[in-house]
Amino acid sequence: MGLLDKFAEVRATRESLGPIDPTRVVIERLLSPTRAMIRGRETLLAGTNNYMGMTMEPAAIAAGQSALADAGTGTTGSRMANGTHDSHRQLEAELAAFYGYPHAMVFTTGYGANLGVLSALVGPGDAVMLDAHAHASLHDGARMTRADVYSFRHNDATNLDARLRRLGDQATRTLVVVEGLYSVTGDLAPLAEITAVTHRHGALLLVDEAHSVGVIGAGGRGVVETAGVLDQVDFVVGTFSKAFGTTGGFCVSRHAELRLFSYCSRPYMFTASPSPATVASTRAALKLLRDEPQRREHLTRLCTRLLAGLRQLELPVNDVPTPVACVELDSREKALRAWNALLNAGVYVNIMLPPATPGNASLLRLSIGDAYTEADVDELVTKLGGVLGEMNAEAES
């Protein structure tokens, strides 16, 4: 086989999509945090993770513009070289204060944060214990460590307890990795139970709050806050590409060892640092997320409305309202048809197909944000119900 022959399988996968290719969607023009022109049509955006509408927040835009004029377009170096500006340090101090932790570290992307933290924390002879639904970046980071990698049943603290017990003495050299709000299904981790089990075995706990920071909790600190374990979790990682509306990632911790990651975390050491404009916009977003809890209160009301609408469509939903919901279709073909029909109806959602989905399910993933109105939520539910109803009628005829 030649080096390029492996792409025959990739090409076959691409061709199996037929004329519908969700990976080729182009946002032709952004109209607002909730609307864009796609295929020449005004489209409701229900799959962007713009949970707090920050991408077009005037204060964040102004902060970025000012930093762009003052400090230029980029740093041209990693944090280990010339890539640490005063603004990077200020953002880290503000993140640490936001969580009430003594230490914080900023990465260039959320993906890089997960790779960077796991590869610094864990090595040969250690173990990583992942929730079965953990994000791909967490699996990739675990593989980078050259540690023993295991998984436990999704959100099952009892199964986690059994798996850690089976590790024996290695449990004290194990990092348990979970998400706060799961990005595909929108359910929350039972963090109080998972924290108790983890520490009972002498392991450490990392919680990825990518989809819950700024969104969940009275102070916006995520599920670690609502579960009452802020003072017990060892490491919290997250991204700026969701609620903050920018790009980048972070880790906060109560352990002073986090400060040493800059000497052993390769994604941190060898990636150019975030641009000054990105950092400035992120700091402005963090201030708004901290100072304006009414944004989260409004989003919670919208999430409750979305769940009620999905229940009326007789779709299974989570017990707790979150900005993420998913609809399972019974085949890849039906999921593609439903996704395309929704786009033709003026609604953009995410499609997720096996093998990159929990349980190899074919899913439509919906996400809403604070910039939505009640009418936007109703439009999403109505058009989703119309598409699913038409497909069901076709199946029965």
Q: CA–CA separation, 311 vs 103, rounded Å?
A: 42
Per-residue pLDDT of 95-140, as tens digits, reads 999 999 999 999 999 999 999 999 999 999 999 999 999 999 999 9
Per-residue pLDDT of 5-39, as tens digits, reads 999 988 988 888 778 889 889 999 999 999 999 99
Three-state helix/strand/coil letters over the chain: CCCCCCHHHHHHHHHHCCCCCHHHCCCCEECCCCEEEECCEEEEECCCCCCCCHHHCHHHHHHHHHHHHHHCCCCCCECCCCCCCHHHHHHHHHHHHHHCCCEEEEECCHHHHHHHHHHHHCCCCCEEEEECCCCHHHHHHHHHCCCEEEEECCCCHHHHHHHHHHHHHHHHHEEEEEECECCCCCCECCHHHHHHHHHHCCCEEEEECCCCCCCCCCCCCCHHHHCCCCCCCCEEEEECCCCCCCCCEEEEECCHHHHHHHHCCHHHHCCECCCHHHHHHHHHHHHHHHHCCHHHHHHHHHHHHHHHHHHHCCCCCCCCCCCEEEEEECCHHHHHHHHHHHHHCCEECEEECCCCCHHHCEEEEEECCCCCCHHHHHHHHHHHHHHHHHHHHHHHC
Residue 1 has pLDDT above 80, yes or no: no
What is the amino acid identity at position 189? A
Q: For the chain, list the domains and their CATH numbers.
A: 11-45+293-396 (3.90.1150.10), 58-291 (3.40.640.10)
Q: Give the sheet arrangement for strand 29-30, strand by strand.
A: 29-30, 35-38, 41-45, 347-348
Cβ–Cβ < 8 Å for 327, 388? yes
Cβ–Cβ < 8 Å for 339, 351? yes
Per-residue pLDDT of 305-317, as tens digits, reads 999 999 999 999 9
Residue 167 has pLDDT above 90, yes or no: yes
Residue 300 has pLDDT above 80, yes or no: yes
Q: CA–CA separation, 88 vs 77, rounded Å?
A: 13
The reported pTM is 0.95
Mean of pLDDT over the chain: 96
